[in-house]
Chain A
């Protein structure tokens, strides 16, 4: 039991820093190595590790899937509006916000998706 409490304390301490690191990798993905996928995977790994240590707070899977579908719609619409049209390509000030927004969307999508996958797959309880 005491080993359990050590691990859960350390995980609770690390949790905000790792989440911050993941968000940093997502947001800064257009300037430094990293990007949506990598940061999202870091976030997902942290969520899953926290759930393994302390399986009290369950995930609302239905709502998470809904959020993921909405994000996918945004991922389809934003490049269609900003990259695939020639006029939008010329506006220079839009370029960096576009990269940051896309990285954020991809990051959250990957984080939610991997979390749902592993939750559902590894912690599936046959009721």
Chain B
């Protein structure tokens, strides 16, 4: 009975670990999987192997995966300006105040162990947000900057405070999007793979 229960839960946990969209959750499922396997070893009278499995698989491996996930999170930022015909990075970084802002956002991401990835396009906001793989969309419209971020994400809050403190002359407005919250949340949770869209 114990054996059958553990086997069924092992199968369920394995499927969950593979199918989960949030990588951090699959790491946790894998840790529980290893813990159950070590119970199974104990049930089969192999305590040596059970100790090794419990320590290595559900302790060290989980720690290793979690730190790796934390280190290599990608934070995708999109900068759009419909006025440009073609956009190169030069337009933004050329020593202007807006270039400084983007640089500041980059530094902000690096300080939080995120890997900033900035994309500049002349596409419209609708086209960009329909692609749905950006955590932060910055849109320039004449003299106004609008930053679209998820309302649930605490990083956007911190960023807003930072920009209000240092960049109040830039006419920045924050727009919180609620409907794409699941996507943004998931990417911030450590999913580095491409979203299927």
**Is B a genuine binding partner of A?**
yes
Interface residues of A (CB under 8 A from B): 25, 33-35, 37-38, 41-42, 44-45, 48-49, 52, 114, 118, 121-123
The answer to whether the Cβ of B64 comes within 8 Å of any Cβ in the partner chain is: yes
Which of B1-9, B49-57, B76-84, B90-98 binds A?
A: B49-57
Q: What CA separation (Å) do A104 and B80 show in the bound complex?
A: 62
B51: A residues at CB distance < 8 A: 25, 33-34, 38, 42
The answer to whether the Cβ of B162 comes within 8 Å of any Cβ in the partner chain is: no
Interface residues of B (CB under 8 A from A): 47-48, 50-52, 55-56, 59-60, 63-64, 67-68, 71
CB distance from A122 to the nearest CB of B (A): 4
Given A44-B60, A45-B60, A114-B60: A38 and B55 within 8 A (CB)?
yes
7 additional A-B residue pairs with CB within 8 Å, beyond A25-B51, A34-B48, A38-B48: A33-B51, A34-B47, A41-B59, A49-B63, A114-B60, A118-B63, A122-B68
The dominant DSSP class at the A interface is helix
Q: What CA separation (Å) do A37 and B71 show in the bound complex?
A: 29
The dominant DSSP class at the B interface is helix
A25: B residues at CB distance < 8 A: 51
CB distance from B110 to the nearest CB of A (A): 12
| Cβ contact within 8 Å between A118 and B64 | yes
A38: B residues at CB distance < 8 A: 48, 51-52, 55
Given A33-B47, A49-B63, A52-B63: A41 and B68 within 8 A (CB)?
no
Q: What CA separation (Å) do A33 and B44 show in the bound complex?
A: 14
| Cβ contact within 8 Å between B48 and A118 | no
Q: What CA separation (Å) do A45 and B56 show in the bound complex?
A: 8
CB distance from B80 to the nearest CB of A (A): 31
CB distance from A62 to the nearest CB of B (A): 22
B50: A residues at CB distance < 8 A: 33
A33: B residues at CB distance < 8 A: 47-48, 50-51
Q: Report which of B48, B63, B68, B71 forms a contact with A48, defined as CB distance below 8 A.
A: B63
9 nearest CB pairs, A to B: A33-B47, A41-B55, A38-B51, A45-B59, A122-B67, A33-B48, A38-B52, A45-B60, A42-B55
CB distance from A105 to the nearest CB of B (A): 18
CB distance from B47 to the nearest CB of A (A): 4
Q: What CA separation (Å) do A35 and B52 show in the bound complex?
A: 9
Report 13 cross-chain contacts, Cβ distance below 8 Å, ordered by A residue.
A25-B51, A33-B47, A38-B48, A41-B56, A41-B59, A42-B55, A44-B60, A48-B60, A48-B63, A49-B63, A118-B63, A122-B63, A122-B71
Given A33-B48, A33-B51, A34-B51: A41 and B60 within 8 A (CB)?
yes
Q: What CA separation (Å) do A50 and B180 show in the bound complex?
A: 37
B56: A residues at CB distance < 8 A: 41
